[in-house]
Amino acid sequence: MSKLRFTKDHEWVRYDGNVATVGITDHAQAELGDIVFVELPEVGRELKAGEACAVVESVKAASDVYAPLSGRVSETNNAIVQDPALVNRSAEDEGWFFRMVPTNLSELDTLMDEAAYRDFLASQQ
């Protein structure tokens, strides 16, 4: 069964089987505006939860993307490198950034579920 979780930094992570897929939330893409460039971590890189591992650049600003979990990068989404606007069009689905094999699944429990993330966004307004 898959688990969808969110960070306060507006990344999402979907854990399904042994792999976690990571991206930025729809809120984050809307805030950035037109995304023009994405730099992804190398496959095989070992990440620690909270570590800056990718860069996203829009017409307004550039920002880091952080690893929601510790683990090893197993795959990156070349489609968003070729077409960064895919992140704007489909941030929480086709616009995923990378996949990783988590090394500490208990970290998932420190993240927010979808309802908690929506509440978090509402509380910040």
Partner 1 sequence: MALRVAVPLLSAEEGLHREARLLDRVRTTAISGGVVFWRSQKALSVPRVVESRQHFGAIRAAMAKAGWPVVVRATGGDVLPLTPGLLNIGLCFAHPGSSAFGIAEAYKLLCEPLIEVLGAWGIAAVCGRTPGALCDGEYNLVVEGRKLAGTAQRWRHAADGSGRMAILAEATIFGDDDLRVQVAAAEKFYRLSGMVAGLKVDRHVTLAELLPGPYAELGGSGLLEAMAAEIAQAFRRRFGWPACVPSD
Q: Is 78 in the site for partner 1 (CB under 8 A)?
A: no
Residue choice 64, 93, 114, 119 for contact with partner 1 (CB under 8 A): 64
User: Strand, helix or coil at 70?
Assistant: coil
Least separation in angstroms between CB 21 and partner 1 = 22
DSSP H or E stretch at residue 88: helix 85-89
Of 106 and 125, CB closest to partner 1: 125
The count of chain residues that interact with partner 1, using the rule CB under 8 A, is 27
**Contact region for partner 1 (CB under 8 A) — 12-20, 35-43, 72-80, 100-108?**
35-43
Of 39 and 74, CB closest to partner 1: 39
CA 15 to the chain's CA centroid? 12
For residues 17 and 95, the answer to whether their CB atoms sit within 8 Å is no
For residues 2 and 16, the answer to whether their CB atoms sit within 8 Å is yes
Of 37 and 93, CB closest to partner 1: 37
Q: What is the rounded CA–CA span in Å between residue 102 and residue 69?
A: 6
Beta bridge partners of 5: 13
How large is the C-alpha radius of gyration of the chain? 13
Q: Is 59 in the site for partner 1 (CB under 8 A)?
A: yes
* Residues making contact with partner 1 (CB under 8 A): 8-10, 27, 31-33, 36-37, 39, 50, 52, 55, 57-64, 66, 84, 120-121, 124-125
